[in-house]
Amino acid sequence: MTSKERMMLALRREVPDRVPATVHQWQAYHLEKYLNGIDPISAFRRFGLDAAIICFPIDEPQTPDWRRQVIETRNADGNIIQNITVTTPEGTLTETIEISPITQWFTGHPIKRPEDVDLIDKYMPVPRLDREALAREYDRLGDDGILRGFIWGVQGGCWQHATAWYGLEPLIMATFDNPDWVHHFLRVLQKKKMQFIAESLPGAKYDLMETGGGASSSTCISPDIHREFCLPYDREQHDALHALGFPCVYHTCGGMMAILDLIVENDCDASETLTPPGMGGDARHAEIKQRIGGEVCLIGGMNQFQILDRGTPEQIREEVHRLFADLGPNGGYMMSPSDHFFETPPENLQCYADTARDCRYG
């Protein structure tokens, strides 16, 4: 059985020959430091893992009414600072992003006043997917795994996107102080995302589309906020993606136990990342399998810090077998670290991959 066949069977909650074993996005930092700068497809092949490749080739369109300027400097830590200014006929938006060798984050959000959202609504162009570049990557990957994509934006979910552009805490407060504006903000983002789906995704060679985002996790917001400000927008996206034939994985890289029923209710096909308490989540894997494993595929679960990064071979093997016992019965599971890793020794990754290959069905 090929990796693609194995992973697609799991997505359909069917039983493959063995548990698919992958990682959640290979990070450039790890590839450079530990694997001599090889590309993600080569890294998956090196360890014999089932590949889950992110490919999202889009442009950053500018128009006379949406002119974006980026000025880069470096701070005392050596990190890149991007100061971004967008000029429109009715005002400007500014944002600041700091980029370290490992990751990047907003230090200044572009939405500072409620009326700034209207500039996005009126003037922001929607990028187009380069489907020819996507098709080339799909063909290069072949049967060694699946190609994953996004909906345009800071992750697929409108709530995640809005928190990145306004700030999580301010947006939570606005759900109480100005809920109509929050819905307006989310609808503006949703309109752009639905345009991207309609214009760029028909015929695109994706096996799986990622939606949601960590800010929709129950470690960030309450189930009530999730139900009102995430669920309807998530479900609309999933309906549009399903109409084009794409399965969807809903991403919550944090707490999820309080929103398990809402994850199923949004009509996704898979749920990730099953983050354990040691990584800041609250996933109880056997309970998740029992409660929702018959309705969605489950992806993730491996503690990438205490176990995969720092664990002994015995601890890694023990955790792989535990995950398979808790989440693997009757198929519908892809084993994976619950999120990114940066300092994992190659020998630990090989131990993980080798042990997972022994987790067979039948």
Residue range 3-60+126-357, CATH number = 3.20.20.210
Can you count the helices (H) and strands (E) in the chain?
14, 11
Strand-pair category, 80-88 with 91-99: antiparallel
182-195 pLDDT, tens digit per residue, is 999 999 999 999 99
| Full DSSP string of 142-207 | GGGEEEEEE-SSSSS-HHHHHHHHH-HHHHHHHHHH-HHHHHHHHHHHHHHHHHHHHHH-TT---S
pLDDT tens readout for residues 340-355 = 999 999 999 999 999 9
At residue 324, does pLDDT exceed 90? Answer: yes
pLDDT tens digits for range 209-264: 999 999 999 999 999 999 999 999 999 999 999 999 999 999 999 999 999 999 99
AA identity, residue 261: D
Boundaries of every domain in the chain: 3-60+126-357, 62-109
- pLDDT tens digits for range 129-170: 999 999 999 999 999 999 999 999 888 899 999 999 999 999
Contacts of 171 (CB under 8 A, 6+ apart): 159, 162, 163, 182
Question: For the segment 69-105, what is each residue's pLDDT rounded down to a tens digit?
Answer: 999 999 999 999 999 999 999 999 999 999 999 999 9
Q: What does the pLDDT look like over 34-76, one tens digit per residue?
A: 999 999 999 999 999 999 999 999 988 889 999 999 999 999 9
